[in-house]
Chain A
Amino acid sequence: MNVISTRQLTKRYGRTVALRNLNLEVHAGEVYGLLGPNGAGKTTTLRLLIDVIRPTSGSITLFGEPMSPRLRGRIGYLPGDLVLYDRLTGADYLRFCGAMRSHTDLGEAVRLAKRLDLDLDREAGELSKGNRQKLGIVQAFGHRPDLVVLDEPASGLDPLAQREFHAYLREYVDGGGTVLFSSHVLSEVEQVADRVGILLAGSLVVQDTVASLKANAVRELTFTFAEDVSAASFSGIPGVRDAVQASGTEVRCRVSGAVGELVRAAARFPLVNVTSHEPDLEDIFVHYTEERGDDD
């Protein structure tokens, strides 16, 4: 079942298109990472979903329904630009949220705060950026929502808190929850997301599982030969995007998809060594960014 589903979702500000025909589907029980550089439309997407801004065109359904006040009780939200009420302590703030959400049991929130090592007795205004972010995370999960929407959740967190938070995300999803989060940090998305959508300049350029993205990614193969071999011998082989002469006996190729054809071609020469660089999301990300750049 789709917990989040958008159809041709578009948001314009005057002549600027912040988001263009977004068809986003987030399935129940998955962690979906929305990846993109600053200004790509990640925050716009999340704020449209939460209904603090309205689409220019297109539609959104959550749990198969249009957004309503009642539905918001099933959703936790962490804004990217997190500002809390300075004069409320963490505990006061959680009590306020609990009352607003008719969920007065603070057990889950207190447990998570403890795991993140957050002191709930201090006023939000006195907290460091990292601790404020922790409180933001705690309030998003405190009422045990079915879906959480998190805008750059790891920003400001120290590595230890980040690890604890990622572990918690996994447990939350294993317990039946669904997560949509945005990030411009590739390693984070790679670590925690089941599926990834890459957003560039307001358009979703790709949406796939992390594993499948990697399988189809551009990887780099470096061949070392016993004698000089021209890089030109490898251009034109299916899948090869470019071949560079690293030295007389060394050729570096970038290839997308299966590498069989390329390896067969290389084997016709006296091959000494092959090294392959495992692609990470960064390569994928850079690849799509470059491709977009070529179009313009």
Chain B
Amino acid sequence: MTTELVTKSVRDNRGSTLGWGIALVASVALQLAVFPAVRDAAGEFEKLLESYPESFKALFNVRQSLASGVGYLQGEVFGFLAPLVLLGIAIGQASRATAGEEKAHTLDLLLANPVSRTRVLLDKALAVLASVAVVTVVFALVLLVGNGVVGLGVPWPDMVMAVVASAVVALPFGALALLTGALTGRPGLAVAVPVGLGLLTYLLDALSSLSDGLRPWRVLSPFHHAAVNDALTGSPNWLGLVGLVVLTAAGVAGAAVAFERREVRA
């Protein structure tokens, strides 16, 4: 590890980490603040939700009654908000890791230093991981505090596991951004590819509960293997989470190979 490069990359990503982090904390805090009101008006909400099409509910992860803590968190926090922010951080920062420097024309000088390209890439990947980790910890803390304050009634280990699963599902998409950037040197493409694939696999997982035709395909979705909903109800998919970590490692290794061979554009 080159401490200086990791530190500098973390500092370069500070704005993105802070922006996404604040957005997440503020949104989660807001969602939690209105939970008591939702719970008290549960009857009305149930009626409203019954009128929604099943596909809509599946899309926004409305699986249980919003009046229960678990159901509320699934629908309002883990369904859409958490993956959006954590994928946003991982993809945004990983896409800029090497491709951003190449586009900015600062890569020539960086690579002229006596460190291997693999080292440069791994240090930058580590900086992205650090950002994801920081936001994950803050996210967990806000939920744990909120859990106590508004009485969601979710056991804290389940809460923590759901947060961890939300973070782990973001990692392979970050690795894909890193790989695309290392292959092409284009930060725009390094955002577009994982975002596109993220959307596709998110929908695949969300809608597979509605369609028998889609169900076999959901094994292709990282969101299926992360199984955040199951983690929140006390049965995390350990194998799936380990699989996602292995997939991430493979993606980063592929990015290192691609980056070693990359012809840096002048």
Expressed in whole angstroms, the Cα–Cα distance for A100 and B119 within the complex equals 11
Of B30-38, B74-82, B109-117, B152-160, the one touching chain A: B109-117
Interface residues of A in 57-78 (CB under 8 A from B): 69-73, 75, 77
Expressed in whole angstroms, the Cα–Cα distance for A82 and B116 within the complex equals 21
Residues of B within 8 A of A258 (CB): none
The answer to whether the Cβ of B54 comes within 8 Å of any Cβ in the partner chain is: no
The answer to whether the Cβ of A5 comes within 8 Å of any Cβ in the partner chain is: no
The answer to whether the Cβ of A96 comes within 8 Å of any Cβ in the partner chain is: yes
Q: Which of the residues A52, A83, A100 comes within 8 Å of B2, measured between beta carbons? A: A100
Expressed in whole angstroms, the Cα–Cα distance for A47 and B108 within the complex equals 8
The answer to whether the Cβ of A212 comes within 8 Å of any Cβ in the partner chain is: no
Query: What sequence of 0s and 1s flags, for each residue 73-89 of chain A, a beta carbon within 8 Å of any chain B beta carbon?
Result: 10101011111110000
Flag if B112 contacts A77 (CB, 8 Å): yes
Residues of A within 8 A of B4 (CB): 96, 99-100
Q: A47-B108, A79-B108, A100-B2 are in contact. Are A52 and B114 (CB under 8 A)?
A: no
The answer to whether the Cβ of B107 comes within 8 Å of any Cβ in the partner chain is: yes
Number of interface residues of A (CB under 8 A): 28
Interface centre among B4, B114, B115, B119 (most CB of A within 10 A): B114
Flag if B108 contacts A50 (CB, 8 Å): yes
Q: Which of the residues A52, A70, A75, A139 comes within 8 Å of B108, measured between beta carbons? A: A52
The answer to whether the Cβ of A237 comes within 8 Å of any Cβ in the partner chain is: no
Q: A72-B112, A100-B115 are in contact. Are A43 and B266 (CB under 8 A)?
A: yes
The answer to whether the Cβ of A241 comes within 8 Å of any Cβ in the partner chain is: no
Interface residues of A in 262-279 (CB under 8 A from B): none
The answer to whether the Cβ of B3 comes within 8 Å of any Cβ in the partner chain is: yes
CB-nearest residue of chain A to B115: A69
Q: A69-B115, A96-B4 are in contact. Are A53 and B264 (CB under 8 A)?
A: yes
Flag if B105 contacts A83 (CB, 8 Å): yes
The answer to whether the Cβ of A97 comes within 8 Å of any Cβ in the partner chain is: yes
The answer to whether the Cβ of A102 comes within 8 Å of any Cβ in the partner chain is: yes
The answer to whether the Cβ of B263 comes within 8 Å of any Cβ in the partner chain is: yes
Expressed in whole angstroms, the Cα–Cα distance for A70 and B115 within the complex equals 7
Q: Which of the residues A53, A54, A101, A139 comes within 8 Å of B114, measured between beta carbons? A: A101
Residues of B within 8 A of A43 (CB): 266
Flag if B5 contacts A100 (CB, 8 Å): yes
Smallest beta-carbon distance B112→chain A, Å? 4
Q: A43-B266, A53-B263 are in contact. Are A83 and B113 (CB under 8 A)?
A: no
Query: What sequence of 0s and 1s flags, for each residue 227-266 of chain B, a beta carbon within 8 Å of any chain A beta carbon?
Result: 0000000000000000000000000000000000101101
Q: A81-B105, A100-B115 are in contact. Are A52 and B3 (CB under 8 A)?
A: no
Number of interface residues of B (CB under 8 A): 23
Residues of A within 8 A of B111 (CB): 50-52
Q: Which of the residues A77, A80, A96, A102 comes within 8 Å of B8, measured between beta carbons? A: A96
Residues of B within 8 A of A80 (CB): 266
Flag if B108 contacts A101 (CB, 8 Å): no
Smallest beta-carbon distance B248→chain A, Å? 25
Flag if B114 contacts A102 (CB, 8 Å): yes
Expressed in whole angstroms, the Cα–Cα distance for A82 and B266 within the complex equals 10
Smallest beta-carbon distance B101→chain A, Å? 9
Flag if A85 contacts B266 (CB, 8 Å): no
Q: Which of the residues A53, A81, A82, A100 comes within 8 Å of B113, measured between beta carbons? A: A100
Flag if A47 contacts B115 (CB, 8 Å): no
Residues of A within 8 A of B261 (CB): 54
Expressed in whole angstroms, the Cα–Cα distance for A51 and B259 within the complex equals 13
The answer to whether the Cβ of B106 comes within 8 Å of any Cβ in the partner chain is: yes
Flag if A85 contacts B115 (CB, 8 Å): no
Residues of B within 8 A of A50 (CB): 108, 111-112
Interface centre among B4, B111, B112, B119 (most CB of A within 10 A): B112
The answer to whether the Cβ of B48 comes within 8 Å of any Cβ in the partner chain is: no
Flag if B109 contacts A77 (CB, 8 Å): yes
Residues of B within 8 A of A53 (CB): 263-264, 266
Expressed in whole angstroms, the Cα–Cα distance for A84 and B5 within the complex equals 15
Residues of B within 8 A of A96 (CB): 4, 8
Residue pairs across A and B with Cβ atoms less than 8 A apart, 19 shown, are A43-B266, A50-B111, A50-B112, A53-B264, A70-B114, A72-B112, A77-B108, A77-B112, A79-B108, A79-B109, A79-B112, A81-B108, A83-B104, A100-B2, A100-B4, A100-B5, A100-B113, A101-B113, A139-B109
Give 6 nearest A-B pairs by CB, closest first.
A73-B114, A99-B4, A100-B113, A83-B105, A77-B112, A72-B114
Other than the given A50-B112, A101-B114, 12 more pairs (CB < 8 A) read: A47-B264, A52-B112, A53-B266, A71-B114, A72-B113, A72-B115, A77-B108, A79-B109, A79-B112, A83-B109, A99-B4, A100-B113
